[in-house]
């Protein structure tokens, strides 16, 4: 098959959930002999100008990027309050890119066009008018649920009002788009149920996160035990709010050795003010790391204190593949077929996190057992080859 994939950001380097999912999908399709083209928006704030080492996947596909400015001034942000549209989706619309896309689908006959997430949905109408190709929408999450859950975490009435306002607008937009596609692929049963409840009339299939297991090779001789770590991009608001909550909750215990463990925070776009959380020899704010898997391998216990958000957390799947003992909120582990206490530990309150951390740092064998069970779960349900075959079966059902 000839497949066109549209993304709202360039998925290189693979340093976050979205690019990992996109690239593993492309890699799996190419390995099965399909011809893949990738067209990506390149938001100015991403600063991707080809300075990184070229990804080997680029040599196996047709790739095209288009620069777009999605930034917004404070005044523009204020004015969106009086605009009834979902501005954070609208800012990804560009007329010239739409023309480029129209030319692409008119000049090349594709079997499938896949829209990766809500932020490329503004182009569905133009693509529909320009070709008869079957179109698949991959819902990485339900965007409006993220804003709803963020609003629930806010005590400030103005912030709560604003987030709920944005949530309502995004929900309206999402519901308007659902039935424009021929099929929808979701990561979790929760998202499948919600989309069907919203009135989806086309197939909605669960296609979980898939990873290339051969890339995940744990080496316990290089693991510091005990140690806690968080890895995630803090330009995603749910990640930032979650880790801020955790640092506030446990800063004193970590600083004064009431929890006898070091805590490491790493990831992209960590604000400078996070340096204030550092405590020499106790709490380390490392920022972006050169090799994410090497960092994960070097630490023992993964913390996922997610309080809002949606979809399936790729970082948890990766952590499981690296045989990490993971402590996560129920929301963070959403969509993963876990067994609490067997292949992950679930904690939703400060007290539950405290008990889980204390149990883990006191028993290395228990941590290793949880990690080994986690790896087996990933091998059974998140192997990229199995997941790609399931996605291809969705494609074939449309042809």
Q: Which residue has the tokens 């079966």?
A: 393
Q: What is d(CA 246, CA 44) in angstroms, rounded to the nearest whole number?
A: 31
- The 8-class DSSP code of residue 225 comes to S
Determine contact, residues 345/327, Cβ cutoff 8 Å. Answer: yes
Round to whole Å and give the CA distance between 340 and 190. Answer: 18
Residue-range domains of the chain with CATH: 2-210+383-398 (3.40.50.2000), 214-381 (3.40.50.2000)
For residue 230, give the nearest of 371, 324, 151, 156 by alpha carbon.
324
The H or E element that residue 36 is part of is: strand 35-43
Two tokens at 188? 């979790």
Write out pLDDT tens, residues 227-236.
Answer: 999 999 898 8
Residues 99, 102, 106, 111, CA torsion sign? positive
Among 21-30, 74-83, 229-238, the range of highest mean pLDDT:
21-30
pTM for the whole structure: 0.88
What does the pLDDT look like over 273-284, one tens digit per residue?
Answer: 999 999 999 999
Query: Which of 284, 251, 246, 290 has its CA nearest to residue 268?
Result: 290
Mean pLDDT of 182-211: 94
Phi–psi pair at 310, nearest 5 degrees: -175, 175
The neighbour count for residue 18, using CB atoms within 10 Å, is 22
- Residue 304 contacts residue 326 (beta carbons within 8 Å): yes
What band does 82 get if pLDDT is binned at 50, 70 and 90? Answer: low
| Residue 301: other Cβ atoms inside 10 A | 24
Is residue 52's pLDDT more than 60?
no
Percent of the chain with pLDDT over 90: 76
């Amino acid at each position: 098959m000839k497949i066109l994939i549209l993304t709202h950001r360039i998925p290189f380097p693979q340093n976050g959930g979205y690019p990992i999912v996109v690239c593993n999908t492309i890699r799996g399709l190419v390995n099965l002999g399909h011809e893949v083209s990738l067209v990506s928006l390149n938001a100015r704030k991403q600063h991707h100008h080809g300075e990184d080492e070229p990804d080997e996947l680029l040599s196996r596909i047709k790739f095209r990027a288009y620069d777009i400015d999605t930034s917004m001034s404070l005044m523009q942000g204020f004015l969106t309050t009086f605009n009834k549209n979902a501005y954070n989706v609208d800012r990804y619309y560009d007329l010239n890119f739409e023309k480029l896309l129209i030319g692409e689908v008119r000049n090349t006959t594709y079997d499938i066009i896949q829209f990766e997430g809500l932020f490329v949905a503004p182009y569905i109408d133009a693509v529909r008018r320009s070709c008869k190709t079957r179109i698949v929408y991959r819902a990485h999450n339900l965007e409006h649920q993220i804003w709803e859950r963020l609003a629930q975490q806010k005590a400030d009435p103005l912030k709560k009002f604003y987030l709920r306002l944005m949530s309502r607008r995004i929900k309206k937009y999402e519901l308007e788009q659902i039935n424009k596609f021929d099929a929808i692929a979701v990561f979790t049963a929760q998202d499948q149920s919600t989309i069907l409840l919203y009135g989806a009339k086309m197939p909605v299939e669960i296609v979980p996160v898939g990873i290339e297991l051969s890339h995940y090779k744990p080496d316990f001789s290089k693991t510091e035990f005990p140690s806690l770590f968080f890895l995630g991009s803090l330009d995603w608001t749910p990640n930032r709010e979650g880790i801020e909550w955790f640092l506030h909750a446990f800063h004193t215990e970590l600083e004064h050795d009431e929890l006898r463990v070091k805590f490491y925070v790493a990831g992209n776009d960590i604000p400078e003010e996070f340096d204030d959380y550092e405590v020499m020899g106790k709490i380390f704010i490392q920022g972006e790391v050169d090799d994410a898997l090497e960092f994960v391998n070097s630490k023992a216990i993964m913390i996922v204190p997610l309080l809002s958000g949606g979809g399936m957390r790729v970082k948890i799947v990766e952590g499981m593949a690296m045989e990490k003992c993971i402590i996560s909120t129920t929301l963070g582990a959403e969509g993963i077929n876990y067994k609490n206490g067997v292949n992950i530990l679930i904690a939703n309150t400060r007290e539950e996190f405290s008990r889980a951390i204390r149990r883990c740092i006191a028993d290395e064998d228990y941590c290793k057992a949880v990690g080994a069970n986690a790896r087996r779960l990933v091998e059974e349900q998140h192997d990229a080859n199995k997941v790609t075959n399931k996605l291809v079966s969705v494609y074939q059902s449309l042809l």
